Amino acid sequence: MISETNLYSQSILRDFSTTFSWYIIPFLLIVIYIYAKEFSEKNYSTLMAGFAFLGQDLINEIINSLVFFFTKKAPLWGTSGNTAGQLLIGLNIEIFFMFAIMGISATKLLPNDKTAKILGINNRIFTALLNSLLCVIVECWLSSINVLTWEYPYWSTSFPLLVFIFGYLPFFSVCYYVYDANLRKQKTFLIIQWGTILLFLTTLIPANII
């Protein structure tokens, strides 16, 4: 049986006529400003990394929506509370903007020397692990106050390992891989990643699968 929270999220899915709030407009401008600033400063690797991070989140959100569709019970994660727009069953517009910024922010934590080590670990790997851990801690807190819903025992505050491995580590790993890659590899990765995302979205949304 579908939970009440997920039923509500499903009822407002992409229905901006009932959920729209004006505060998302300045949020959108903040995201645009951040990306425009990186572009004006020719930080193209940072831009590419930001898009890669956001793209990885969208892939996870599509998978999460498919879990909900096939189980007819619940997604791995859902959202509750007020939102200005429910984009997918586990993704509202506020979270979308957050992830759009997080990838850019994540690159600012990296040393210029990609071979440097922190506590004996390559700084890219160390930073990806640390950021993933911090994000999982935040998610556990959000779940504890019931604004982020987890309804499966293997995806819960009592067993957050999968949240760490599949929920966040791929985000930062992809972000840092693209950040350090040459331009050709960056373009190839993003074309494949976003091409896949657009293919699934344009196929699954009209069919009311996600």
Tokens standing for 59?
A: 């892939």
Mind listing the pLDDT tens digit for each residue in 99-140? 999 999 999 999 999 999 999 999 999 999 999 999 999 999
192-195 long-range contacts, Cβ below 8 Å, gap at least 24? Answer: 193/52, 193/55, 193/56, 193/59, 194/51, 194/55
- What span, in angstroms and rounded, lies between the C-alpha atoms of 77 and 155? 8
Mind listing the pLDDT tens digit for each residue in 188-203? 999 999 999 999 999 9
Q: What's the whole-model pTM score?
A: 0.95
Q: Which residue has the higher pLDDT, 126 or 5?
A: 126
115: three-class secondary structure by DSSP? coil
Measured at the CA of 92, the angle between CA 156 and CA 146, to 5 degrees, comes to 35
- What span, in angstroms and rounded, lies between the C-alpha atoms of 164 and 148? 15
The total of other beta-carbon atoms located within 10 Å of residue 191's CB is 10
Q: Which whole-number Å values give the CA distances from 35 to 48, 54, 60, 188, in the listed order?
A: 10, 13, 23, 20
Mind listing the pLDDT tens digit for each residue in 54-98? 999 999 999 999 999 999 999 999 998 899 999 999 999 999 999
Q: Which whole-number Å values give the CA distances from 81 to 5, 6, 208, in the listed order?
A: 9, 11, 23
